[in-house]
Amino acid sequence: MELAGTWRKVMPYMAMVFLQFGFAGMFLISVASLRQGMSHYVLVVYRNAVAAVVMAPFALWFERKTRPKMTLLVFFKILALGLLEPVLDQNFIYMGVNNTSASFSSALTNILPAVTFVNAITLRMERINIKERRSQAKIAGTAITVGGAMLMILFKGPIVNFPWTKHISHVFSDSGAHNSGHWLMGTFMILLSCFCWSAFFILQSYTLRSYPCELSLTTLICALGATESGAVALVMERDPKAWSIGFDMRLFTAVYSGIMCSGIAYYVQGIVIKERGPVFVTAFSPLCMIIVTLLGSIILSEVVTLGRLIGAAVIVVGLYALIWSKNKDHVNALDAENNFEKQKTFELPFSTTDVNKTSSLGNI
């Protein structure tokens, strides 16, 4: 029993750490494919089609007895989820990555927990009591995170050389090939991506209450997302050659992103969201940033500047203020649940018949 309790406490943390390694790989291989000329519109279609095909058998088998009926309201929610993440978020993040760099994109997406927190307050999913320390930590963490993101955007500073990059001649730009106009456009796309991703987490949290089947929900999101993004790609990508794919980096990117970052990620995030909420899920992105920064400088020879490092460090401080406050929320919720169970245990065993008997005796 004690081992099972420990595993239940540790599981959400391990799951989110696992996903960050998966997302880090997605950032790196996506940059490589996009710079080889792959269309991000086509990549999104293939990615979600792969995820839907891979996840469908698991959903059909494991949730065949527990899957609730599909209502019109739930269908529209899933349709919106397919639009928010597969279509909008993925296209925006790929455009942002292609116009900046993998390390910059993974660092700037660390504002996601702050955006999610603000949206959760707006929708009254999060409660704020300014007198409580954990509420103060949430507000301070959000402000610090946004400040770190602004620092990353506005201040570059000198290039930071790692031991393995000293022999490489860097040109002072984010990807070695993009001008400041492209860089600003990429930054804007990443910020839009964060907003859409945040909205996706919150809507996923609501949808799971009425459709509590993570595997089926994941499959439907990916299937509808592939259909919606396919319609967008047919309009935006008129060249038939853009759809050609072989046994190369393009195929690997589509398969890896589909299985790891759409299929598995949606399923795992859904499980953790049900237990800890959407803000907790988004609070582990600094690990992805660290992995991408190190591997991006080694594999892709990406430039890392002092301003970006300082801004990323500031964002991490803000994020862990949010994590601390969310952990306090979880502990308080568990304490309240335990106290409620104790009160139920010590209640007097009165029923309506007992009360009627007592009143009739009193009348005698």
In sign, the C-alpha dihedral spanning 25, 238, 186, 138 is: negative
pLDDT band at 195 (very low <50, low <70, confident <90, very high): very high
Structure confidence at residue 80 (pLDDT)? 96
pLDDT at 258: 92
Categorize the per-residue pLDDT at 338 as very low, low, confident or very high, splitting at 50, 70 and 90. low
Confidence class for position 340, pLDDT limits 50, 70, 90:
low
Query: 311-337: per-residue pLDDT in tens?
Result: 888 888 887 887 788 777 767 776 676
How distant, in Å, are the alpha carbons of 127, 320, 326 from that of 331? 15, 16, 9
Q: Is residue 55 very low, low, confident or very high in pLDDT (cuts 50, 70, 90)? A: very high
Give yes or no for residue 351 having a pLDDT over 50.
no
Q: Pick the more confident residue, 239 or 299.
A: 239
Q: 346-352: which pairs have CB atoms within 8 A and are 24 or more residues apart?
A: none
pLDDT, the chain, mean:
81
pLDDT band at residue 35 under the 50/70/90 scheme:
confident
User: Is 18 a residue whose pLDDT tops 60?
Assistant: yes
Q: What is the pTM of this model?
A: 0.77
Domain map (residue ranges) of the chain? 15-141+179-291
Does residue 23 carry a pLDDT above 60?
Answer: yes
Amino acid occupying residue 66: T
User: What pLDDT is attached to residue 320?
Assistant: 80
Range name among 108-122, 158-172, 194-208, 323-337 with the lowest pLDDT average = 158-172
Assess contact for 312 and 145: CB atoms under 8 A. no
Q: Using an 8 Å Cβ cutoff, are 352 and 318 in contact?
A: no
Per-residue model confidence as pLDDT tens digits over 247-283: 888 899 999 999 998 889 888 988 888 887 776 777 7
Q: Comparing C-alpha atoms, which of 271, 289, 288 is closest to residue 280?
A: 271
pLDDT (average), residues 44-61: 94
Query: Could you write out the three-class secondary structure of 102-141?
Result: HHHHHHHHHHHHHHHHHHHHHCCCCCCCCCCHHHHHHHHH
Residue % of the chain over a pLDDT of 70: 85
pLDDT digits (tens, 9 = 90+) for 210-249: 999 989 999 999 999 999 999 999 999 888 888 988 888 8
